[in-house]
Amino acid sequence: MKQFHKTYSATAFLLGMLLLFTNISCGSNNKPKNIVVGDAIRFLRREAPFHLEGFGMVRNIGYEGNYVLFKMQIYEDDTYGLNVNKISSKQTVAKKIVSAQIGMMNKQMKDAMMNIAEQSYGLRIVMNGSNSNQGIINLSPDEIKTALSNTPNKTPEDFSLEMLALSIKLILPAQVDQRTTWTDTRMTDTSFEYIYIINDENINLDAVDLSVLKKEKITTLRRQNTDSMRKVVNLCKSTHRNLVIRFIGYHSNKKIDIVLTPSDLEKI
């Protein structure tokens, strides 16, 4: 199975949001008039299928107007609020994910993408949903060039964790309970963070026993033991990062952190 960077393995979307991809027609059967773009499309077709980590697999490539098309079918999961419309509405985050993938392509694929951008063609990601909904992510030629120029020096594990953090943002904010709203995920050099806003109107966050909360969180994570959570835990361990659960008081703005070190994560 081919990917933007050949060493990267495919990953499932965090919290059970599995993206399934099937064959879709490649659009117009006519060849693009621009020979350079036509050659680039033919090369990319030979590389397919390849993965957009955090999104899924690109199986078909075509063109439309001044766009090269990457086409995919996305499985919409109502349980976690993932759907084509939500992804399309989060264009800033979606573009960051696609741009990061472009930056991690192998040299030959990067050359093809640069040829496309230099001929003033953009990239259009076409996502079809289970209810005939269709979502679009557009990158302009300049955005493609910027993505190609920002090649990161990251390990596969760092990159996978970054994609998880970005992918989660597509479904946020999410209501956890009457008091708590999940608002963000972040990856830093030393941690992977879940950020929650808590209604602390009748709660004194200064009196919270973090050691008790830490034990409860370890127990909860051990019981959950989902594929997605194992993915986060294993990546934090392999990259020597802490898993941080941060609560921010809505009224007090007080911050409390439950910090699970790689050593703590070994217990899960």
**One domain for residues 22 and 140:** yes
What pTM was estimated for this model as a whole? 0.77
81 lies in some domain = yes
Q: Are residues 137 and 183 in the same domain?
A: no
Q: What is the pLDDT of residue 152?
A: 73
Per-residue three-class SS string for the chain: CCCCCCCCCCCCEHHHECCCCCCCCCECCCCCCCHHHHHHHHHHHHHCCEEECCCEEECEEEEECCEEEEEEECCCECCCCECHHHHHHCHHHHHHHHHHHHHCCCHHHHHHHHHHHHCCCEEEEEEECCCCCEEEEEECHHHHHHHHHCCCCCCHHHHHHHHHHHHHHCCCCEECCCCEEEEEEEECCCEEEEEEEECCCCCCHHHCCHHHHHHHHHHHHHHHCCHHHHHHHHHHHHCCCEEEEEEEECCCCCEEEEEECHHHHCCC
Domain count, the chain: 2
**Per-residue confidence (pLDDT) for residue 75, from 0 to 100:** 61
The reply to whether 146 and 179 lie within a common domain is no
Tell me the average confidence (pLDDT) per consecutive run of 10 residues in the chain, 268 residues long: 38 30 39 88 93 78 94 67 78 91 92 97 87 84 94 84 88 91 95 96 91 91 77 93 97 96 91
| CATH number where 101 lies | 3.30.300.250
Q: Do 116 and 208 fall within a single domain? A: no
Q: Indicate if 41 and 140 belong to the same structural domain.
A: yes
Print the domain residue range for 185.
Answer: 172-265
29 and 104 inside one domain: yes
Predicted local distance difference test score (pLDDT) of residue 108 = 95
What's residue 134's pLDDT? 80
pLDDT score of 252: 95
- Residue 53 is predicted with a pLDDT of 73
